[in-house]
Structure 1
Amino acid sequence: RMLISFFLLLLAIACVASVGVGLWVFSNHFLTTDIPAAISHPMRLRVLNCILQLLITWGLIFEKLRICSMPQFVRFVHDLLPLKKHPDVVVKDLQFGTIPVKLYQPKAPASGLRPGIVFYHGGGGILGSLKTYHGICCNLCKKSDAVVLAVGYRMLPKHRFPVILTDCMVGTMHFLKSLDTYGVDPARVIVCGDSVGGSVATVLCQKFVDRSDLPKIRAQILIYSALQGLNFQSPSHQQNKNIPLLNHNLAFYCWCGYLDISPSWISTVLKGAHLPAEVWEKYRKWLSAENIPDKFKKRGYLPMSREPLNEAAYLETKITLDVVNSPLIADDEVVSRLPEACIVSCEYDILRDDSLLYKKRLEDLGVRVTWHHMEDGFHGVLTTADMSFFYFPCSSRILDAVAHFIKGL
């Protein structure tokens, strides 16, 4: 009887805790979250964001209790979602050395060699997986009639910088050296990614510029990519800091976690005191809000003066000056030789201005750019492409634009 009572007590505590956490997440959402009127299905986004924040909150609780880390919990629950079947696509699970990959090939016979897409998923190093991006890769394969290789890289909390990049490089090089096996045209290989995956695609394009032993990358597709880790006071950071699915707090959690930077420096970084004045002056020509068209500042932008350098913060955060963490500041000599790009930006994305600044850099240096701006888009919207209830039409428009670009190569 005592044992039964004990279990009932535990059950009651668990129920009360669940209700309490749920109420806290729900209240916090309505107190701190902005849902722009221009976004279609605003209630759908509210519910989706509440679910994400609920998972993150429980993950942080389990992390405090030392049961598992927050990223592990969120990925575990996310991967429980059932996969939709796509009868027109053949899917194979492979291993490139120790790197897990998924290969997507159109089931219909090909009249010749197909384009090849190497896809790197987003999620800031804490969310996302080969499974959660399965629907996106299937749709991309079908819509563009291309062979898609999705690279599964190791993530937080066990694996930090530069593991994501090295895993993706290994997977990409293996694919580039075996294109014949998969019926891929070596003259039409594209790298593609969203969010941090777009950062990986950008960096690998830059690194492969001088590789004469590998097929040349034909194009880069960058979907609301994270392209610099220096300036967090751009117009889009100010305007969209409280808009799902990537708000200010989650963006910094990913940034600090991946680069192993203490979160205690966040206020210093926001004041611009983490980098010397000469660094800001050196990269002003590429990072300044003056390079962003005025129409993107209409929702409000307040230029902020930077505080004097905090030397301790600089010593810990200067890793962001490495071009593999901020490919937006790569040398002109490298950027000018990059393949043409398809850039997708979203109006209600905290990282929007990274795309706008990189677009200008590429165009200024003579690199051809196809640009699609989603006026009703938000960060992470692509991941809803295969979700029934949480589907946003913007996700299909992104996939259609990308597929059209690939077919035109």
Structure 2
Amino acid sequence: MLTSPSNHFYNGDTMKTKLRPGVRALDRFMKSTPGMSVARMTNEQLLRAQTTVIPERGPASLFLGRLQKEVDVRTTTFTARHGELSLRIYTPQSWARAARPVVLNIHGGGFVLGSARQCDWSCSLVAKELDAIVVSVDYRLAPTHRYPAALLDCFDALLWVAEHAPDLGGDPGRIGLMGDSAGGNLAAVVAIAARDEAGPAIGHQALIYPVTDMTEALMQDASYVDNTDRGIVLSNDDMEVFHAFYVNEHDDPTDYRLSPILTPDLSGLPPAVVVVAGLDPLHDSGVRYAQALADAGNEVTVEDFHVMPHGFLSFPYFSVSARPAMDAIVASQRAALY
């Protein structure tokens, strides 16, 4: 069953809606700052972006959002099949009467950029509001590590979470997935792989403006076509570069591990909340995936913020809809994991 709230659901008038001041400021910042668009990055800028460690405090937190109070965060590593990977673990400080749900978070960045640290605001908010353990994984990045490196790393992180949940104060029987953009793609595919490969049982999936279709069908979506001249935050050129960095020439884009919307059988998957943004080239493909999940008999809610751009949850102090979106995600997680 597909449901959608009425307060911010797409109404067909996205292109007629004036941008909010926060979105305008964010877009100006992204377009005026060297190295913010992957399509305009030099090789040196890309390497710098991939290797720069975001400070725990300072101006970065004003941009990306602060860690929630009453949530502890620590980093650790685990041994995946291809080596050591870093994890960032968020734990509520409040006393727990029982083992908590565990949510594996997968960050966005086009499979090329980003880190677990950039999700401090959203991950700590889920930890606090849901009263859950949140584990965020730093998977290997393209183009040095192309598909399926990130997917293998995220599935290995899921196995680690299921095995070590009791050590974290979590319940291995109540595991959720959460991912934004490229991370939404990886979360969706990990949920399917867990079902097909007798992996850990997944109780919920939160897919935030996910990449669901890497075929040429994406370019036919109205949201993609409309973005050609608009290009707010995420341009079509950026998406083409991300795709070229992540996918090898011999890879089949119709493979569900790249385009989960083309999975032959989408039945038997966990309840999902799919967050989409009206000013995002990925808007329509996200809605199409939600509908495909619902058509296969899954419980799905679409949260459509029609005056927001791609990535708006990553900039909570610029985006008026960031907190309502997170509230909707947590409500969906609570309904499925408690």
Same fold, TM exceeding 0.5? Answer: yes
> How far apart in 1 are the matches of 2:23 and 2:172?
43
* Identity across the alignment (%): 25
Question: What is the identity, as a one-letter code, of the residue corresponding to 1:219?
Answer: H
Q: Is the aligned partner of 1:46 residue 2:31? A: no
Q: Specify the alignment match of 1:236 in structure 2.
A: 223
Q: Specify the alignment match of 2:148 in structure 1.
A: 162
Question: What's the C-alpha RMSD, in Å, of the aligned pairs?
Answer: 2.3
Q: Specify the alignment match of 2:8 in structure 1.
A: none
SS of match in other structure, 1:177: helix
> How far apart in 2 are the matches of 1:48 and 1:404?
32
> How far apart in 2 are the matches of 1:78 and 1:254?
21
Aligned residues: 308
Q: Specify the alignment match of 1:93 in structure 2.
A: 75
Q: Is the aligned partner of 1:260 residue 2:248? A: yes
The structure-2 alpha-carbon separation of the partners of 1:379 and 1:78, relative to structure 1 and needing over 3 Å to count, comes to farther
Q: Specify the alignment match of 2:205 in structure 1.
A: 220
Q: Specify the alignment match of 1:143 in structure 2.
A: 129
Measure how far apart 1:92 and its partner are: 1.4
SS of match in other structure, 1:102: strand
> How far apart in 1 are the matches of 2:244 and 2:170?
38
* Aligned partners of 1:56 and 1:74 also within 8 Å: no
Q: Deviations over 1:254-307 (max 9, x none)?
A: 01110134xxxxxxxxxxxxxxxxxxxxxxxxxxxxxxxxxxxxxxxxxxxxxx
> How far apart in 2 are the matches of 1:60 and 1:71?
6
* Aligned partners of 1:71 and 1:157 also within 8 Å: no
Higher relative contact order (CA 8 A, sep 6+): 2
**Aligned equivalent of 1:182, options 160, 168, 180:** 168
* Aligned partners of 1:59 and 1:74 also within 8 Å: no
Q: Specify the alignment match of 2:335 in structure 1.
A: 408
* Aligned partners of 1:209 and 1:338 also within 8 Å: yes
SS of match in other structure, 1:190: strand
Q: Deviations over 1:3-22 (max 9, x none)?
A: xxxxxxxxxxxxxxxxxxxx
Measure how far apart 1:379 and its partner are: 0.4
Measure how far apart 1:183 and its partner are: 1.9
> How far apart in 1 are the matches of 2:33 and 2:312?
13
> How far apart in 1 are the matches of 2:174 and 2:32?
39
What's the TM-score, normalizing by structure 1?
0.70
> How far apart in 1 are the matches of 2:131 and 2:33?
33
The structure-2 alpha-carbon separation of the partners of 1:159 and 1:36, relative to structure 1 and needing over 3 Å to count, comes to farther
* Aligned partners of 2:227 and 2:280 also within 8 Å: yes
User: Higher Cα Rg: structure 1 or 2?
Assistant: 1
Q: Deviations over 1:46-67 (max 9, x none)?
A: 3222245554489734x3xxxx
Question: What is the identity, as a one-letter code, of the residue corresponding to 1:243?
Answer: G
Q: Is the aligned partner of 1:355 residue 2:282? A: no
Whose strand proportion is higher, 1 or 2?
2
> How far apart in 2 are the matches of 1:39 and 1:74?
28
* Aligned partners of 1:93 and 1:101 also within 8 Å: yes
Q: What pairs with 1:250-399 in structure 2 (closer than 5 Å)?
A: 250-261=238-249, 316=250, 319-332=252-265, 335-385=266-316, 388=317, 391-399=318-326
SS of match in other structure, 2:288: helix
Question: What is the identity, as a one-letter code, of the residue corresponding to 1:144?
Answer: L
> How far apart in 2 are the matches of 1:349 and 1:78?
28
Measure how far apart 1:114 and its partner are: 1.2
Measure how far apart 1:362 and its partner are: 1.3
Q: Is the aligned partner of 1:248 residue 2:230? A: no
Question: What is the identity, as a one-letter code, of the residue corresponding to 2:41?
Answer: L
Question: What is the identity, as a one-letter code, of the residue corresponding to 1:133?
Answer: C
> How far apart in 2 are the matches of 1:58 and 1:194?
20
The structure-2 alpha-carbon separation of the partners of 1:195 and 1:46, relative to structure 1 and needing over 3 Å to count, comes to closer
Q: Specify the alignment match of 1:195 in structure 2.
A: 181
The structure-2 alpha-carbon separation of the partners of 1:39 and 1:108, relative to structure 1 and needing over 3 Å to count, comes to same
Question: What is the identity, as a one-letter code, of the residue corresponding to 1:86?
Answer: Q
* Aligned partners of 1:160 and 1:260 also within 8 Å: yes
Question: What is the identity, as a one-letter code, of the residue corresponding to 2:220?
Answer: Q
The structure-2 alpha-carbon separation of the partners of 1:365 and 1:134, relative to structure 1 and needing over 3 Å to count, comes to same
Q: Is the aligned partner of 1:204 residue 2:179? A: no
- Gapped regions of structure 2 (runs ≥ 5): 1-14
* Aligned partners of 1:116 and 1:147 also within 8 Å: yes
Question: What is the identity, as a one-letter code, of the residue corresponding to 1:361?
Answer: A
Measure how far apart 1:40 and its partner are: 4.5
Measure how far apart 1:77 and its partner are: 5.6
Q: Deviations over 1:106-132 (max 9, x none)?
A: 000112121111000001022211222
Measure how far apart 1:134 and its partner are: 2.0
Q: Is the aligned partner of 1:124 residue 2:124? A: no
* Aligned partners of 2:89 and 2:136 also within 8 Å: yes
Q: Deviations over 1:303-338 (max 9, x none)?
A: xxxxxxxxxxxxx4x521211001110112xx1111
Measure how far apart 1:88 and its partner are: 0.6
* Aligned partners of 2:22 and 2:320 also within 8 Å: no
Whose helix proportion is higher, 1 or 2?
1
> How far apart in 1 are the matches of 2:25 and 2:256?
37
Measure how far apart 1:101 and its partner are: 0.5
